[in-house]
Structure 1
Amino acid sequence: MIQHARVLILSVGLALSGLSTPAHANNSRYAAFVVEENSGVVLHSRRSEAERYPASLTKMMTLYMLFEALEMGEIGLNDPIRISANAANASPSRLGLSAGSTISAENAIRALVVKSANDVAVAVGERLGGGESRFGELMTARAAGIGLTNTTFRNASGLPNSRQTTTARDMARLAIALHRDFPQYFDYFNEESFRYNGRTYRNHNSLVGRVRGVDGLKTGYIRASGFNVVVSAERDDHRLITVIMGGPSAAARDAHAEELIEAAFATLEQRQDTRLFAALSSPRINPVRQQDLIALDVAALHLSEPVEMGSADQPPALQIVLADEDEMRVDTLAPVRDRPAAARSGSEPIQSQGSWAIQVGAYNTADAAHDRLAEVAIYSGALGSAQPAARAVTISGDRLWRARFENLTEDSARLACRDLSARSHPCFAVAPGR
């Protein structure tokens, strides 16, 4: 059985190593990263932790902040965003909006995604942060909260700033966070064009609508960065996030991204065979233990770390998932609302009541909000004495229910959000009166 697994694992790697090495792979600005979002399997990594300039990939974080403000009720899709003189004077690419004019939040989203409009990015930063410099600080802090550990933002647009840096891996994390935390807004990234003031703008991401399964996300370019792109693509049950940084041209970057996407999907298909053979092991053992055993066996092969496709002497190492997701579920993760409060662990700290709250989502129905509260309540002891609540709010004519835990102190609210964020659950601490 183990020998079969070795053969299949090697065949998976060969599917990736059969690509030709692109000419730009050796330039000093190049980096690449490919990950399967649902499983976390890294399919390709080249200089993914090296410091790079994000350019307009920055606007993904600006959009994350805008989506978050929409969910918190701080702004509505139809609310106007004022264009200041500073915003109007931003360097191209831009919509060319005049100082004193306004653009709706929804059109601002489309302008950022499709046109990559710097004047709109500046205006959004000023609207949400009170100033673009302050907004950069808020972006950096929020980015750290969602796992971007090597990223610093200084502006909302991605225009040149020597202190605004990131990594290919962090940009993949940001793409995953956008899809995970704001699926209700993700379709904006899939729009091929945007019409505004009588003009139609085509999406800078040429892969959208052309490569099967691609549904976003964002391109970027400044002279210091080269041509960057983050691409989301879904086929069957697999969703890939592909990051290319430092391409020599938009065409070369897009061709390389497409090549990586196709190779990665082919690899994932072959990996199904690995899982099938693992499932045929006899006698049947606990799937978690089985995964440990195969992982040890794979480690014994002494495969190289992932390298650029086509330049590897040996196939890239892969994380292998063997057990079906249904088999990995643990009964103790049942919804907490089915368990009385007294039944929770006696070791969980009891917090004194306060006027702070945390918000873990906003939903179209109260039931959905309560379901979310039940799902995440067990992940932080700081919520031991909190009161779960679904609070109705109307935003731009739409009625939503905020999923909140109330009656917390400031310390317990922030602790609870740290606990939830560590498990990749979005969470906001809500100050009194908000």
Structure 2
Amino acid sequence: MNQIRIAISTWTIVLVLLSQSFTGFCQGTNAGLKLPQGFTAKKIIDTSGKARHLSVLPGGLIYVKMARPWQGKGILMLRENDKGEVAVVDGFSNYGGTGIYIKNGYLYASSNEEVFRYQLGEDGRVINPDKPERIITGLKMGRQHETKSIVLDNDGNIYVNIGMPTNSCQEKDRQPGSMGIPGCPLLDSAGGIWQFRCDKPDQTYKDGIRYATGLRNVVGLDWNTQNNTLFVMQHGRDQLHDLFPALYTQKQSAEVPAECMYMIRKGDNAGFPFIYYDQVQGKKILAPEYGGDGKKEGSKEYIDPVVAFPGHLAPNGLLFYTGSQFPERFRNGAFVAFHGSWNRTPEKQEGYYVVFVPFENGKPSGKWEVFADGFSGVSEVRSPRQARHRPCGLAQGPDGALYVTDDVKGAIYKIEYKQ
């Protein structure tokens, strides 16, 4: 009997160990990400830098913009071979930043004050990396929302986000009870999208057009080729409860205002800082700095978002999927990379995932859904420092794969569909 008990105990230990090993193996698949059925993911590289936006070319070339120069290089050139192995093969530029975009034989990249372009050779490599052409200079940069994201249309124009260097245009920034500066004069050079020519050197504000205003800060943006229109993701304002505790509870402040996707036409005004969009009420609400109480509606002259996500998720990447690798329902839809919140206390932090929004004829056609989750590496995030990875940039590969950057440890993920 004792021998039987010993045998049973031994097998119990073996089964537990096997179970733990199998669980660990499962958790290690897909680079730790949770994906829809049929999709796979792998982490193709860790650069140890802060990888922001990226572009992927045929032949396995990947260009990555770094928030700060990594080993002295602000732009990294990676090469992916036929086996899916990736290595850093080159780097150039001595400036950090976010924006990078490739079109018509040129690579465009932004610092926090300027935009440059580099000519590409037939092999996709930059011809003269040490002598870029500066096409835009003198852009406003503050201590907040200083990064410049970029995108090009099909008519020779480049669009640049210039974020508002404050939270909500208060007379004393982020100070409880401080009211808004009348008219918010900062909007003359920030808080919107500016349009410039993509081939004219040394342009300044006077050469550009304020294409859209009333946008607090846009990091993710993309050009929708279905309706030839610019789409942007706005970072909503912070600290409603902290600044106006008599008007907002902590829970309200954790959930509102929405992170908004806007379809932008020339001359549009999204209303910041005078209003914010409350996705719970489904209304544009007058900001407390300008006389609001959390219920008064704002002016109808301001545009509505086409999608209103929960508050404080920090959308840093936007990409319209035009490839054929993913199932048909993903065609022409939008992927959004949410970097993750820091200010949803006392609620848990949210975001740290990539979502998908279905589109039809250039407009959202259904509810958004979480597409890739698990970047944070923990079951619950109470502080952003707990997150091991935070999604930032999105790019589509020539074969239709989806690439996602992480600006905590510089990882790049490749997501593919394999039936």
TM-score using structure 2 length: 0.24
Which is helix-richer, 1 or 2?
1
Kindly indicate which of the two structures has a greater share of residues assigned to strand. Answer: 2
- Which has the bigger relative contact order, CA under 8 A and spacing at least 6? 1
Using the size of structure 1 for normalisation, the TM-score is 0.23
